């Protein structure tokens, strides 16, 4: 990510939100795809996790790379004094790993890029500020024709579909029984969305959910021979055998609409003909 885009985020965090900001050592560095070697990126994250003065770690961007270092992260000091881990996309690996191994809440939320082009003034980046300052969360969205009505309560967890499918069979995927699972994805071919959904199905991750929240599937692509279903139709077919409430079109995505969700925190999902409400349980 260009340093100019990160500077916008840092400026807003300091000047508009009043936070003290400590920059990671690998911001704007590295060659090729990564911002540094695995050891450099690991050391950077480890330093933030170990520093008791750091109260939240806002990841600059996602992409790919957490899976290369996740097994080498030492969470011992983090466990003694937890802090918000903030991000989405590839950061799904951190969210699910921390939930699976330690049961500590994390924050699936906008990252540095979302602050640019006036994004920090909008409701989605604002939802991050509200969580970081301790406010209670409640989100509403319109009804969707594919919605399955009902009320569900349970811990909220999830993230990027590709990363969830990638983590199946590893110690980093938490138990989903009784949970409200949320998912989104970007740039995937439709047949691959079907394959990943069926991977979750075959692994038992979709069977005993309390509810399912389906966010944006942006920039999906089809193959030369059309798959025959759009992303939401694929999801609907896979979860058709189950009776739990399901909503579509929730504002969690790789697009501008991406609210801050407290992963691992109990929530209530209420889906009715009038719309959808997802709120922290009191």
Residues annotated as catalytic are 89, 184, 254
Tokens of 130: 């509200």
Q: Which residue's structure tokens are 């699936």?
A: 108
Per the DSSP assignment, residues forming a β-bridge with 184 are 160
Tokens of 12: 């807003």
Count how many residues are written for the chain: 282
Q: What is the CA radius of gyration of the chain?
A: 18
Q: How far apart are CA 194 and CA 162, in angstroms?
A: 11
Cite the DSSP H helix spans in 51-189.
76-80, 92-102, 123-132, 161-167
Per the DSSP assignment, residues forming a β-bridge with 263 are 106
CB-based burial of residue 259 (10 Å sphere; 0-12 exposed, 13-18 middle, 19+ buried)? buried
Cβ distance 206 to 180 under 8 Å? Answer: no
CB-based burial of residue 159 (10 Å sphere; 0-12 exposed, 13-18 middle, 19+ buried)? buried
Q: How far apart are CA 234 and CA 185, in angstroms?
A: 13
Cβ distance 169 to 192 under 8 Å? Answer: no
């Amino acid at each position: 990510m260009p340093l100019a885009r990160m500077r916008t985020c840092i400026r807003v965090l300091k000047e508009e939100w009043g936070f003290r900001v400590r920059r990671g050592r690998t911001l704007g560095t590295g060659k090729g795809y990564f911002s540094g070697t695995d050891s450099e990126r690991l050391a950077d994250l480890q330093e933030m996790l170990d520093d008791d003065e750091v109260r939240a770690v806002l990841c600059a961007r996602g992409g790919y790379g957490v899976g290369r270092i996740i097994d080498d992260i030492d969470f011992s000091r983090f466990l003694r004094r937890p802090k918000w881990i903030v991000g989405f996309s590839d950061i799904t690996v951190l969210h699910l790993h921390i939930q699976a191994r330690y049961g500590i809440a994390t924050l699936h939320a906008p990252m540095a890029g979302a602050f640019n082009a006036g994004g920090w003034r909008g409701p989605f980046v604002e939802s991050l500020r509200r969580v970081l300052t301790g406010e209670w969360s409640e989100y509403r969205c319109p009804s969707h024709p594919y919605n399955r009505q009902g009320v569900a309560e349970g811990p909220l967890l999830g993230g990027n579909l590709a990363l969830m499918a990638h983590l199946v069979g590893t110690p980093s995927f938490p138990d989903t029984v009784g949970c409200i699972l949320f998912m989104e994805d970007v740039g995937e071919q439709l047949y691959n969305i079907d394959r990943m959904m069926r991977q979750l199905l075959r692994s038992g991750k979709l069977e005993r959910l309390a509810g399912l929240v389906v966010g944006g599937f942006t920039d999906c692509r089809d193959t030369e021979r059309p798959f025959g279903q759009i992303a939401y139709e694929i999801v609907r077919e896979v979860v058709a055998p189950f009776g739990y409430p399901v909503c579509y079109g929730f504002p969690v995505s790789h697009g501008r609409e991406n609210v801050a969700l407290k992963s691992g925190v109990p929530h209530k999902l209420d889906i009715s003909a009038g719309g959808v409400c997802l709120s922290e349980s009191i």
